[in-house]
Amino acid sequence: MSTALEVAQTVTDPELPMLTLADLGVLRDVRTEGEQVVVEITPTYSGCPAMGVMRADLVHALHRAGFADVDVRTVLSPPWSTDWISDEGRRKLAAGGIAPPGPATRHTGPIPLSLGPTRRTATCPVCGSADTEELSEFSGTACKALRRCRTCREPFEHVKEI
Q: Which of 97, 135, 150, 153 binds other proteins (CB under 8 A)?
A: 135
Q: Is 10 in the site for other proteins (CB under 8 A)?
A: no
Q: Which of 35, 46, 103, 121 binds other proteins (CB under 8 A)?
A: 46
Burial class (CB in 10 A: 0-12, 13-18, 19+), 46: exposed
Q: Cα separations (Å) of 145 from 15, 130, 134, 156, 161?
A: 15, 16, 8, 9, 9
Q: How far is CA 41 from the centre of its chain?
A: 12
Q: Is 28 in the site for other proteins (CB under 8 A)?
A: no
* Stretch touching other proteins by CB under 8 A, among 2-10, 17-25, 60-68, 88-96: 60-68
Q: How far is CA 57 from the centre of its chain?
A: 16
* Stretch touching other proteins by CB under 8 A, among 2-10, 95-103, 120-128, 129-137: 129-137
Question: 145 φ, ψ to 5°?
Answer: -110, 165
> At CA 19, angle to CA 15 and CA 21, rounded to 5?
85
* Beta carbon nearer to other proteins, 71 or 88: 71
Taking a C-beta distance cutoff of 8 angstroms, is the pair 156, 126 a contact? yes
Q: Is 136 in the site for other proteins (CB under 8 A)?
A: yes
Q: Is 128 in the site for other proteins (CB under 8 A)?
A: no
Q: Is 103 in the site for other proteins (CB under 8 A)?
A: no
Q: Which of 17, 111, 119, 121 binds other proteins (CB under 8 A)?
A: 111
Q: How far is CA 26 from the centre of its chain?
A: 7
Q: List residues near other proteins by CB under 8 A.
A: 40, 43, 45-49, 51-53, 55-57, 59-60, 63-64, 66, 68, 71-80, 104, 107, 109-111, 113-115, 118, 135-140, 142, 146, 160, 162
